[in-house]
Chain A
């Protein structure tokens, strides 16, 4: 198969089979049909549900199927599985961190145990806060990009894998993985975006939508895919950079907030909470009989929320001046990085000043015919 590179009407490249990589009838004739599919519709309708479903399946595999394959040294083991297994040390490590600060406490005498559990509680909360804020904070950059340019850096697709037969598995050879269309900025899965039903069943449906978001009028671009690919890659790269940089600062902020004093009095143990509630009811009864009023019992969500607010206040307004400014500095850095990320990702700095119909400014000498084998 020979493809010719060129731009319609712009140079003197001779079209051998024309440049139409994606003519439907030709593609459908291909023997090696691509079964990978974008989960655009599910993702658009139920972004949280789809993400949860994908992550649950991945997590399950990370703890079961992939370690088994890996430890057997399967020839079908791949980098995706290795990366997916990366969540195992993350989760076990988090639990271990909590254990290191909490597990031995029960053996200590009461005052030491109380002190150690105060610290342990805060450290455990820190581990959780780290994980939550690291993931949520990425949305501070990703969502504005999605809203402004329509680019969803987390757009998932299901990849079909045809495995090689092995000693212990000769039949069940088709499996699947969940990837993101833009997980590689070098090689995004553009092919999945062409002729997609969800984007209007047009060859460049997706790219036209994005082009509109970038300010081009409908039909203004002859080759919206060629024009927009570089733009999308640029935006995805910037989004990834700033969401990464800011996420670790937010995670650090989360740990900082989790290590404040108000949490020391937070009761997480459900048994203890039930006992406290019973005691409170008893006290309330007695108080009622005596005609006194006592403070309302705070249920877990309210109690947690109060402690969270107080911890945030203490974080940015600590009585110690240096700590106060350090806290403000840390949260300030996270906010600043997020704002910087929004500024860079939402601004189209490299506006193309050239022809709107030219595919891209190229290094290729357009006066010569190019043939790729």
Chain B
């Protein structure tokens, strides 16, 4: 009692303001103390708290921190500060990881992880324990109340601190009915309160026992669910924002101004620091990289190098120069001994910069007569003079600072514009994860794997390289018309989306913008005397210019993925033809036309070869004309397989399927026609550029080329046209799908088991004990 009183008085002394509002006790006029009237009440239960309340509580917590820093906070405030500090610490960590992770998706997932963790921590007890218990027993184990001091607490936090008096008459009766407490029980209220407290103790214990399992599991599964929509949102955001920025052009906001000022200052310091450095090759490379860094282009850096290398110092040969360079060869007074005629001649020679004539005059004055000696000396003098002239013509940085500044000014404006274009291109087809093309690549592959209805076991085998399963699956898919049509249709939908986003509008915009940016930069550079640089950025001869490489690279990226998508369709088509017997007929016709015997074994070999090629062949295999041991085809076999796969003259099932789908597909007739054309074009291109027997690449094979036919595709083009082999494409994706299935299975099942166990354990909560039953029975007997 005395301690308690001391505490109260001491508290009142330390914190008069807080106590002024709601005093814990009052003084009577005669000096006696009385406890103040209790003003606490129950708060309505909510699964998700109101944001307004959250902000209000946060404000209170911040004030509490201020009070605690002065040493005046109470236990409740310190407890709340602990929760706030935990969230702040986690937020700080999420911010650090957000900055640390280079990828936008990973950045976003750091905060998703933070959010799902705290959400899981709050939601698990509510959904798995509190809500079922409330529905079954009427007891809200997390019932909150607000005390006289305005502090929000849990009603059943401390079972030894009985606050059940806060229940209203109606609430208590309702609770009793829900708990099935005999209405005639004497001291029923107390009985109900004890049962409610007991239920809360059990529920809270169950919460403590399960939260450790549940929170990380729920959080991880939540992140897994959020990853796709967040990825999609980032993908769309990148495309929209990069398009808007490109259309708006280079802006000079305060941030970009600041950045530029910092960059300029850094360059100025660099130029000052290295003012006396000789422009040798390594220093030119260093300076060029620095100047061209923002352009993100090796072509530009190379061009700057050329531009700087071409800058020379004008070195004039005079008497001083001769004295310095030839000090070890001629006497000191040789020049003084020259007669007037010789002097005039020397001046002329120096004016013309002719080392040989200077040497002759000097040799004459030295009166050397032997022819052999004269020739030897002449050679020596010429060498010395020329080398000295050459070395002295290499400038130091100070000599060319003005030119460097001109280069920098031209490059920085161009680089800013080019970067906008780069980002626009990269958002859709950038060679990094998170871009549209990367995501669509996974979407198409995942859809294909899903449509093949592969089990986890099969996925694992495929991911380990077992292609027989894939062959069998494709084969069985081809035997069902409905499933086959469905797969084609689903894939076409995705390819259609791909073509719509990376089609002619996108490509022509890249061409238009690259032309606009490069031509402007090129003209500016030309007018500033930077011809070499200008020529490398844009010129009438497109080959080798930056403008050209921007367009070509973009086109190749688009074609690369497109070919791989078409190759999936093509594989389905091939298996359909095999299944329907069409391929056999086509092969027989080819054999007949070639005047060969229609041999079943030969047809079987060719059929297997077609399957093998469509599933496994890589660009290199095409280049080697499928002669490696994996294929081992003769010229005739090769040509036949290529005809079957890529000759549009042979009608195939995909084109007929596409034609059929003109009437009932989701993409519309016009679009389907376009796609049909696109598919045909793809086959033509492959046929002409890489599948043709004449397109040989390796020196050994080039001997077999028919003279006059040149290779029509370069290495990049060949790669993009061949596309990724089905084996590699599906093997990679099977790995990903299998891993994510496995992970989801392990932790999804764990979560399900945990939930089930918790719910079942929850059923045991709130049951009457033997003694309670006995009390009720006795009361019944007593009427």
Contacts and interface: CB of A to CB of B under 8 A. Distances in A.
Contact of A167 (B81, B205, B770): B770
A363 interface: yes
A48 B743 CA distance: 41
Nearest to A63: B209
Contacts of A85: 205, 208-209
A104 B746 contact: yes
Contacts of B209: 67, 71, 85, 88
B161 A79 contact: yes
Given A79-B157, A186-B75, A362-B13, A93 B211 contact: yes
Nearest to A341: B69
A47 interface: no
Contacts of A167: 769-771
Interface string B43-84: 000000000000000000000010011111111001001100
A82 B204 contact: yes
B482 interface: no
- The binding surface of chain A is classed by DSSP as helix
Given A73-B201, A93-B215, A241-B69, A363 B16 contact: yes
B73 A237 contact: yes
B487 to A, nearest CB: 26
Contacts of B75: 184-186
A278 to B, nearest CB: 30
Question: What 3 A-B pairs have minimum CB-CB distances, sorted nearest first?
Answer: A248-B89, A92-B212, A70-B205
B100 A326 contact: yes
Interface string A63-80: 000110111111101110
Interface of B: 1-7, 9-14, 16, 27, 31-33, 65, 68-75, 78, 81-82, 85-86, 88-90, 92-93, 95-97, 99-100, 102, 157-161, 194, 197-199, 201-202, 204-206, 208-209, 211-213, 215-217, 220, 463-464, 735, 739, 742-743, 746-747, 761, 764-765, 769-771
A166 to B, nearest CB: 9
B51 to A, nearest CB: 23
B743 A89 contact: no
Contacts of A311: none
A234 B71 CA distance: 4
Contacts of B85: 244-245, 247-248
Contacts of B81: 241, 244-245
B84 to A, nearest CB: 9
B303 to A, nearest CB: 28
Contacts of A238: 68-71
Contact of A330 (B5, B92, B102): B92
A330 B205 contact: no
A322 interface: yes
B201 A77 contact: yes
A364 interface: yes
A70 B202 contact: yes
B746 A234 contact: no
Nearest to B92: A252
Contacts of B158: 78-79, 82
B93 A252 contact: yes
A70 B201 contact: yes
Nearest to A322: B99
A201 interface: no
A363 B464 CA distance: 81
A93 B216 contact: yes
A12 interface: no
A98 to B, nearest CB: 9
Contacts of A90: 212
Nearest to B101: A323
29 contacts: A5-B9, A69-B205, A70-B206, A70-B208, A71-B202, A71-B764, A75-B194, A75-B197, A77-B201, A85-B209, A86-B208, A95-B212, A100-B220, A104-B739, A108-B735, A185-B75, A230-B14, A233-B10, A234-B14, A234-B70, A238-B68, A241-B81, A244-B81, A251-B89, A255-B93, A259-B97, A350-B70, A361-B13, A362-B13
B78 to A, nearest CB: 5
Contact of A241 (B65, B157, B213): B65
A86 B160 CA distance: 18
Contact of A373 (B11, B32, B747): B32
Contacts of B159: 75, 77-79
Nearest to B12: A363
Given A100-B747, A241-B73, A371-B32, A259 B208 contact: no
Number of chain A interface residues as a range: 35 or more
Interface in A315-353: 318, 320, 322-323, 326-327, 329-330, 333, 344, 349-350
Contacts of B31: 368-371
A103 interface: yes
Interface of A: 1, 3, 5, 21, 66-67, 69-75, 77-79, 82, 85-86, 88-97, 99-100, 103-104, 107-109, 112, 116, 167, 184-191, 229-230, 233-238, 240-242, 244-245, 247-249, 251-252, 255-256, 259, 318, 320, 322-323, 326-327, 329-330, 333, 344, 349-350, 360-364, 368-373
A372 B33 contact: yes
A70 to B, nearest CB: 3
Nearest to B456: A107
A360 B2 contact: no
Nearest to A330: B96
A322 B598 CA distance: 70
A78 B157 contact: no
A296 B578 CA distance: 63
B2 A21 contact: yes
Contacts of B217: 96, 100
Nearest to B198: A73
Contacts of B735: 108-109, 112
Contact of B2 (A3, A91, A323): A3
A237 B212 contact: no
A190 B68 CA distance: 21
A79 B743 CA distance: 38
Contact of B71 (A89, A184, A237, A333): A237
A109 B739 CA distance: 8
Nearest to A88: B208
A88 B220 CA distance: 20
Residue of A70, A238, A320, A329 with highest tally of chain B CB at under 10 A: A70
B73 A229 contact: no
Given A93-B212, A241-B68, A190 B3 contact: yes
A333 B236 CA distance: 35
Contacts of A72: 202
Contact of A112 (B89, B95, B739): B739
Given A67-B208, A88-B208, A104 B89 contact: no
Contact of A71 (B7, B206, B211): B206
B205 A190 contact: no
A257 B112 CA distance: 21
A329 B33 CA distance: 53
A8 to B, nearest CB: 16
B9 A364 contact: yes
Given A112-B735, A186-B7, A323 B99 contact: yes
- Among B75, B208, B216: residue with most chain A CB under 10 A: B208
A270 B198 CA distance: 47
A342 to B, nearest CB: 13
B563 to A, nearest CB: 25
Interface centre among B32, B159, B160, B765 (most CB of A within 10 A): B159
Contact of A92 (B89, B213, B765): B213
Contacts of A187: 3-4, 7
Nearest to B11: A186
Contacts of B33: 370, 372-373
B68 A248 contact: no
A97 B13 CA distance: 47
Contacts of B4: 187
Contacts of A88: 208-209, 212
B3 A326 contact: no
Contacts of B12: 363
Contacts of A92: 212-213
